[in-house]
């Protein structure tokens, strides 16, 4: 009797439910706990007010948290009740999971583990199949996204990440204030922004409330924001601008390297942050930059550093004036690859200057992209958009699963044994 009471306390089971029996098979590393309800119990059902008599029962076998290294299952006698209209409906205890065959505790464990590691590893740890593990996570993510309130979203960052297959992409939208992914969709065209607008409206938000949108200089994203987020001021992320300038520096190096062998081995010295270079790399860079009057690679590097300094300033009028002069200087130079960057800046000047005012950046998405690509490699790739979406929301959605499962406490990645 004491053992049964102990298991009832551990499982969070209370009247009218009770542990009827416990069977432990050491050879099979299996613990089976039989759960029943008291004779004569009447149950509530959401289909009709009041308490209703039991018509018949069905035994369900549910996977629960392991008992030390042993798998644990509950065999629960689940009642069906007869409602006043004569219909018969099943009643399930509150601790049965949202998917058939699991307890809420076990599903909570799966979701928590999947936030930290690939599905295949979670499946191996828990003894489930990969497909069952993913099904639990898909279900929880879908339900949590459906319940997400987006009424306070006013500033977003939008970017794409590559998918498993060739040059296919998914677009991510991040709530800048909460640093969370709020929308994931296939593609990277203007229609992805239209899809976000519909998603926002369906979850209590308004496209008219979006005042700022940080994007790269993709024409599709620019058109999408202009057409579907009418009040959003566009900011072009400083780091995307610098990335274009770095590409120009490297292109200039490759062109000049054909006739100047001394440039070989300088790629990373030119592309890295100077403060992070090794002493020997810094010495090589300094020697190159000293030749700026005659060396186009050195001038390309200096133009990029000047651009970095300009974009670090906070006075929009000063930034605009300095960018215009920078573009003029570059266009008069013989550093051809950097002229492409100058043309890009002239065509997107307002959005680039907006960086000095909003300081919006896609850095969170870039960091997420790195984490996601690393996770994808560990999992040997995610072959479907559905899987990618689920993983992205698990990693960076900050979803509130507590509304779905009380053992998943909002804001904390722990199991809550007192939440039943």
Q: Write down the pTM of the prediction.
A: 0.82
Quick one: tokens of 322?
A: 């300095």
Q: Encode pLDDT of 111-133 as tens digits.
A: 999 988 888 889 998 989 999 99
- Which residue carries 């922004």 as its tokens? 193
- Calpha distance 116→372 (Å, rounded): 11
Give the mean pLDDT of the chain. 88
pLDDT at 141 over 70: yes
Residue-level pLDDT at 420: 31
What local confidence, expressed as pLDDT, does residue 69 receive? 81
* Lowest-confidence pick of 144-148, 246-250, 257-261, 340-344: 257-261
Would you state the pLDDT for residue 409?
A: 73
* Percentage, residues of the chain above pLDDT 70: 92
What pLDDT is attached to residue 212? 93
- Which pLDDT score is estimated for 9? 80
% of residues, the chain, pLDDT over 90? 61
Strand segments (E) across 224-329: 233-236
Give the residue among 127, 11, 131, 15 at the shortest CA–CA distance from 75.
Answer: 11
**H or E element that contains 400:** none
Confidence of residue 414 (pLDDT cuts 50, 70, 90): very low
C-alpha distances out from residue 168 to 40, 85, 199, Å:
60, 54, 22
Mean pLDDT of 15-28: 90
Q: What is the mean pLDDT of residues 138-165?
A: 90
Strands 169-175 and 155-162: antiparallel
User: In this model, does residue 375 exceed pLDDT 80?
Assistant: no
Distance CA 128, CA 101 (A): 11
Q: What is the pLDDT of residues 276-334, one digit of tens each?
A: 888 888 998 999 889 888 899 999 999 999 999 999 998 999 999 999 999 999 999 99
Domain coordinates in residue numbering, the chain: 2-96, 149-236+362-398, 238-358
Per mean pLDDT, which of 122-126, 206-210, 256-260 is the most reliable?
206-210
Task: Determine the topology of domain 149-236+362-398 in CATH.
Answer: Nucleotidyltransferase; domain 5 (3.30.420)
| Strand residues in 146-249 grouped as ranges (E) | 155-162, 169-175, 180-186, 212-215, 233-236
User: What pLDDT does residue 235 have?
Assistant: 92
The closest of 417, 232, 248, 207 to 345, measured between CA atoms, is 248
The answer to which of 31-35, 209-213, 364-368 has the lowest mean pLDDT is 364-368
- Quote the pLDDT of residue 273: 84
Tell me, what's the pLDDT at 95? 87
Residue 166 confidence class, pLDDT cut points 50, 70, 90: low
**pLDDT tens digits for range 342-368:** 999 999 999 999 988 888 777 777 777
Confidence at 49, pLDDT banded by 50, 70, 90 = very high
Main-chain phi, psi angles of 70, to 5 degrees:
-105, 135
- Distance, in Å, from the CA atom of 384 to the CA atom of 151, rounded to the nearest integer, reads 30
Q: What is the CA radius of gyration of the chain?
A: 29
The per-residue pLDDT for 417 is: 36
Q: Which of 123-137, 191-205, 209-223, 404-418 is modeled with the greatest confidence?
A: 191-205
At residue 408, the pLDDT reads 87
Task: Please compute the mean of the pLDDT values over residues 212-226 and round it to a whole number.
Answer: 92
Kindly list the distances between the CA atom of residue 266 and the CA atoms of 77, 252, 272, in Å, as whole numbers in the listed order.
72, 12, 10
Q: What is the pLDDT of residue 162?
A: 75
- List b or e across 61-74, with b for residues whose CB sees 16 or more CB atoms inside 10 angstroms: ebbbebbeeebbbb
Examine the pLDDT at 380 and tell me if it is beyond 90.
no
pLDDT (average), residues 39-67: 92
CA dist 420 and 418 (Å) reads 6
Query: Predicted confidence band at 419 (pLDDT cuts at 50, 70, 90)?
Result: very low
Write the CB contacts of 221 (distance below 8 Å, at least 6 apart in sequence).
158, 188, 190, 193, 215
- Region class of 414: left (phi > 0), else alpha (psi between -120 and 50), else beta: beta
pLDDT at residue number 415: 40
| Range scoring the smallest mean pLDDT among 27-36, 159-168, 324-333 | 159-168
């Amino acid at each position: 009797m004491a053992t049964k009471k102990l298991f009832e306390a551990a499982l969070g089971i209370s009247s009218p439910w009770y542990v009827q029996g416990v069977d432990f098979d050491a050879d099979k590393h299996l613990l089976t706990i039989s759960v029943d309800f008291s004779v004569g119990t009447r149950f509530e059902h959401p289909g009709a007010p009041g308490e209703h008599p039991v018509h018949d029962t069905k035994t369900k076998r549910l996977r629960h948290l392991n008992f030390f290294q042993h798998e644990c299952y509950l065999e629960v006698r689940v009642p069906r009740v007869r409602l006043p209209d004569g219909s018969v409906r099943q009643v399930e205890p509150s601790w049965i999971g949202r998917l058939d065959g699991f307890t809420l505790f076990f599903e909570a464990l799966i979701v928590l583990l999947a936030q930290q590691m690939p599905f295949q590893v979670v499946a191996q740890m828990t003894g489930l199949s990969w497909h069952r593990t993913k099904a639990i996570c898909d279900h929880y993510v879908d339900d949590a996204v459906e319940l997400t309130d987006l009424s306070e979203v006013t500033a977003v960052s939008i970017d794409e990440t590559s998918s498993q297959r060739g040059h296919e992409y998914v677009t991510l939208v991040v709530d800048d204030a909460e640093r969370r992914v709020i929308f994931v969709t296939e593609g990277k065209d203007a229609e992805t922004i239209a899809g976000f607008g519909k998603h926002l409206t369906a979850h209590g938000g308004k496209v008219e409330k979006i005042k700022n949108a940080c994007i790269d200089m993709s024409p599709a994203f620019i058109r999408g924001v202009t057409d579907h987020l009418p009040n959003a001021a566009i900011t072009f992320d400083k780091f995307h601008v610098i990335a274009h300038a770095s590409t120009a520096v490297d292109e200039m190096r490759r062109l000049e390297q054909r006739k100047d062998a001394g440039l070989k081995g300088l790629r990373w010295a030119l592309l890295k942050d100077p403060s992070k270079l090794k002493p020997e790399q810094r010495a090589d860079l300094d020697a190159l930059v000293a030749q700026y009057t005659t060396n186009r690679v050195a001038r390309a590097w200096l133009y990029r550093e000047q651009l970095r300094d300009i974009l670090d300033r906070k006075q929009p009028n000063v930034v605009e004036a300095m960018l215009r002069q920078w573009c003029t200087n570059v266009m008069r130079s013989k550093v051809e690859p950097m002229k492409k960057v100058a043309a890009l800046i002239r065509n997107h000047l307002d959005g680039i200057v907006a960086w000095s005012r909003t300081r919006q950046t896609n850095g969170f998405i870039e960091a997420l992209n790195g984490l996601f690509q690393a996770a994808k490699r560990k999992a040997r790739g995610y072959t479907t958009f559905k899987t990618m979406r689920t993983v992205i929301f698990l990693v960076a959605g900050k979803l509130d699963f507590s509304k779905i499962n009380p053992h998943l406490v909002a804001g904390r990645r722990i199991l809550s044994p007192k939440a039943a």
